[in-house]
Amino acid sequence: MRWLAGIVIVLGCGYVGVFFAGRLYRRVQQIEALGSALSQLAFCTGFLSLPLAEALRRSASAQSGAVRRLFLQTAELLTLRPGIRPGEAWEEAVRRQESALCLKPQELEALKNFAAHLGRGDKTDILDNIRMTSARLKVAEDSARAEWARDGKMYRGLGFLAGIFIVILLM
């Protein structure tokens, strides 16, 4: 019975470590997906000249999870609330998805800065805003990849080691 309890403790602590390592990996995936969706948005607004709501829907179609919901909610807000500014719709969608996004405050700040210029100016201004945000997200993606490579293994290892340590203390 004690061995079974020990195994449960080790596995439980290991799961916690794997969970935190998984959040680091999801952060990398989400930043990458945001960059991809912004590239698609640039194509849809710049070259296809689609209205912003339709461009957001098309950009969301190739994504999944919180990034997809972020773009779809922004498009939905623009469609359902005719008087809302695109930046306000984007900020509200970011606020709604903030808990599902595994992003750090500086990455969320880049998304909020994107909202400040969304839908303002001509095509060139919109494309410049998208490029600037994409560049910020690329830097954040590189940083997130380095953090995942450095800390992901540590979190997994520390989770299992903490479980083993607790079992040793209890026995």
Predicted pLDDT at 73: 97
Checking 131-137 for CB contacts under 8 A at 24+ apart, the result is: 131/42, 133/38, 134/35, 134/38, 134/39, 134/42, 136/110, 137/31, 137/34, 137/35, 137/38, 137/107, 137/110
Cβ neighbours of residue 98 closer than 8 Å, sequence gap 6 or more: 108
Determine the structural domain holding residue 102 and report its residue range: 2-170
Q: How many domains does the chain have?
A: 1
Quickly list H helices, the chain. 2-42, 52-61, 65-80, 86-97, 105-117, 123-170
pLDDT of residue 160: 94
Residues 87/117, Cβ–Cβ less than 8 Å: yes
pLDDT in tens, 12-31: 999 999 999 999 999 999 99
> What pLDDT digit, counting tens, does each position of 126-159 carry?
899 999 999 999 999 999 999 999 999 999 999 9
Residue type, 14: G
